[in-house]
Amino acid sequence: MSPRRERPPARLVLADGAVFEGEAMGALVASPANPEPAALATGEVVFNTSLQGYQEVLTDPSYAGQVIAFTHPHIGNYGVSPEDEEAPRPFCRGVVVRDVTERPSNWRAGGDLEAFLSRHKVAGITGIDTRRLTRHIRDEGAMSCALGTAGEAELLAAARAEPGTLGADLVSEVTASEPYRRPATGRARALSVVAYDYGIKATILRHLARVSSVEVVPATTPADEVLARRPDGVFLSNGPGDPAALGHLSAEIGKLLGEVPLFGICLGHQLVASALGGETFKLRFGHHGGNHPVKRLSTGTVEITSQNHGYAVSEGSVEGAEITHVNLNDGVIEGLALEELRAFTVQYHPEAGPGPHDARYLFDDFAALMEKAS
């Protein structure tokens, strides 16, 4: 067996002064891919409860501005693979784990997690008591943090200077710069969809391509340009940050509602609510994981869902919208339907990636809505 890697000591310091000691990895450690390691990184720390799918989590653009703490104690055990990436690179600020696996074992593995983090300049820390950290976040709420090899005082100052995600437009950091297309893969008569990229995941595109051809457009694309393409439907993707800071995006959505069938996921769900005059609020510690129970009100069915969001729609703030799904953990709105406007949205991730497949039917529901309207 090869000897254990030597890593410099490091700390995770939260804005409230809580300190967690561990060892540096990723961008905090010198390597051939990262010859000049960073001394620290900052962001809003959140915890994710998924038992697998760490690469999909790390490359989900919705984590822009955040530091991800995994509650599962062993991370990296099956390595990394290009097929599991949800975006060309991670947009998260950092990674916190209890124990990173040094020797991955999986026939699909194209490398190990530490090398992946180094290559993409993502700061990481291992050896952290993630149980204690998770309890702290649940009690005190998600907050800014700093992690690195710098001194404790410097890390605390950096954590307190980090603004977090409240009021932040992070979509501009992750959206595509130019439109691009994905051909349909699964229908004899392909529908056509224009998908707004607020931080769209590769798995979402695969599911959309099963029912339609897809043209992905940047987040700031005007509604009239989208309608000029004469799509059968418009899709609004997931994405990072505070929906209340994205009024310029929800204004364009308001011009699309009623003009074309529309389906929104996660941030897309929140922006539709905002376009209709609804309000959003920041959750205490967010929903991040692959095991959240959601009740489908029309049938009473409970779906186990994948979720990743720190904000939610305020109940009663969206007039004329039917609530279709609710979170059984805390009662948060998880779905809206606007029958007259031919639109529906969900807060969770029906594409999973990672997570259960209970809600994949929603992509077929979108196809049926488009076919009925055509």
pLDDT digits (tens, 9 = 90+) for 166-213: 999 999 999 999 999 999 997 656 899 999 999 999 999 999 999 999
What structural domains and CATH numbers belong to the chain? 9-161 (3.50.30.20), 171-373 (3.40.50.880)
Looking at 116-120, 157-161, 184-188, which range is the least confident one? 184-188
Which amino acid is located at 337 in the chain? A
pLDDT in tens, 201-250: 999 999 999 999 999 999 999 999 999 999 999 999 999 999 999 999 99
Helix (H, G, I), strand (E, B) or coil at 262: strand
Q: Which helix (H) or strand (E) holds 41?
A: strand 40-48
Among 33, 171, 10, 157, CA closest to 96: 10
- Residue 92 known to be catalytic: no
| 119 confidence band (pLDDT: 50, 70, 90) | very high
pLDDT band of 1, cuts 50, 70, 90 = very low
Backbone angles phi, psi at 55, to 5 degrees: -70, -40
- Collapsing DSSP to helix, strand or coil, 253 comes out as helix
Q: Which of 266, 269, 303, 325 is catalytic?
A: 266
Task: Give the pairing type, strands 9-14 and 99-100.
Answer: unpaired
The model's pTM is 0.95
Pair 166, 309: CB distance under 8 Å: no
**DSSP letter assigned to residue 315:** T
Q: Which of 14-35 are b and which e, b meaning 16 or more Cβ less than 10 Å from the residue's Cβ?
A: bbeebebebbbbbbbbeeeebe
Distance CA 124, CA 240 (A): 20
Looking only at the bridges linking them, the beta strands covering 19-26 and 123-126 are: antiparallel
Residue 266 falls in the annotated catalytic set: yes
Residue 143 has pLDDT above 80, yes or no: yes
145 is catalytic: no
DSSP secondary structure code for residue 46 in this structure:
E
Q: Are 278 and 299 in contact (CB under 8 A)?
A: no
Q: Which of 81, 114, 89, 115 is nearest to 100 (CA)?
A: 114
The pLDDT value recorded for residue 2 is 47
**Residue position matching structure tokens 């409970």:** 302
d(CA 248, CA 210): 31
**What average pLDDT is seen over the chain?**
95
Set 120, 288, 292, 349: catalytic member = 349
